[in-house]
Structure 1
Amino acid sequence: MSRRQARADEFVTYVDARRSYLRRVAYLVCGDWHAAEDLVQTALIKLYAAWPRIHTDGAEDAYVRRIIVRAHLDERRRPWRRERVGLDGVDAAEPETLSFEDNDALLAALKTLPQRQRATIVLRYWVGLSVEEAADDLGCTTGTVKSQTSRAMASLRASLSTDDVTTTERRSR
């Protein structure tokens, strides 16, 4: 087997094993399944180009997460991305597979966050990165990650607290 074929086989094995995980991370970052697919595709193209260097370090997941977050932020900055393509109600998104009401409420609240805050929450709590690792993935300081996380958590608490009021009222009856 040639070196090129071995490289391709290792890459395909990695993609087969991690694609759904990367797709979920991308969805949580951008809030749209179609955009998440595009982000994962972009990330995998860039990963393939850097595969020999990255694969030997064992840092594939961190590298791909960083690409996903940065690609999403880059796309959001482009002026033509501010226009929405398609018709409301006609271009239906992929159906959600979440089964619990709380998860639906949490995802809805997560979608209301600004892009940078959403990215910090996903990296810190969904992916489980430390403040330093999240700062490295986002290309900012640890202080920025802490402040963005704090603001995002306050916003999530505020938006989810209205649901808690009805739950508390039901318990007291």
Structure 2
Amino acid sequence: MRRSLERAFREFAEARTGQLFRSGCLLTSGDTHLAEDLVQETLGRMYVVWGRSAVRLGNPAAYAQTVLVRTFLAHQRRRSAGERPSDDLPEAVAAGAGDPSLRLTLLDALRQLPPRDRAVIVLRYWEDRSIEETADALHLSSAAVRTRSTRALAKLRAQLGGSVTEFASM
């Protein structure tokens, strides 16, 4: 039984690590090292509850995303979270198609948002979650999610010149 649970968790982790890392990169505005740390922390927390609640987890992928976002928000509350070793050398997200300068521009715009607003944008528009799912993941009301997403999108539009749609294909 234990080996089958470990095998199931290993398969889950291998399948979801890439998606968790990409979401982590968006949450951290391109800080790949912090994104890796968040993914490791998320998978560690998932492993602890995997055997006890594998049956109760209706959607372990969504639960992992929720754990990732909550881990990110907990990290942002720490005093040392605002420290950056260097602001001159931005790191690219993950290798892939698209214009790197557009990606960096979008990551910089996301970096300007407060952590909770950034989490709402990532969950709503990157993870394509509903308002209710986002509210549940962040322990907010649906109205708060709508308000935060509206304000965050307005800030992004102001920073990006009003044309957010060109970044949607990234």
Q: Normalising by the residue count of structure 2, what TM-score does the alignment of the two structures yield?
A: 0.83
Q: Which runs of 5+ in 1 are unaligned?
A: 165-173
For 2:65 and 2:163, the matched residues in 1 are separated by: 32
For 2:16 and 2:94, the matched residues in 1 are separated by: 20
Q: Which runs of 5+ in 2 are unaligned?
A: 165-170
Aligned 1:33-72 pairs, distance under 5 A = 33-56=32-55, 57-72=57-72
Which structure has greater helix proportion? 1
Identity %: 37
Query: What is the Cα deviation at residue 163 of structure 1?
Result: 7.3
Quick check: 1:7 aligned with 2:10? no
CA 1:89–1:155: 2 relative to 1, 3 Å? closer
Which residue of 5, 14, 17 corresponds with 1:16?
A: 14
For 2:118 and 2:82, the matched residues in 1 are separated by: 18
Q: Which letter does structure 2 place at the counterpart of 1:14? A: F
CA 1:88–1:111: 2 relative to 1, 3 Å? closer
Query: What is the Cα deviation at residue 52 of structure 1?
Result: 2.9
| Equivalence for 1:25 | 23
Whether the 8 Å CA contact 1:39–1:72 is kept in 2: the answer is yes
> How many residues are aligned here?
160
Detail structure 1 runs of 4+ shifted over 6 Å in the superposition. none
Whether the 8 Å CA contact 2:120–2:149 is kept in 1: the answer is yes
Larger radius of gyration, structure 1 or 2? 1
| Equivalence for 1:171 | none
Structure 1 vs Structure 2 CA RMSD: 2.3
Quick check: 1:130 aligned with 2:130? yes
Query: What is the Cα deviation at residue 104 of structure 1?
Result: 3.9
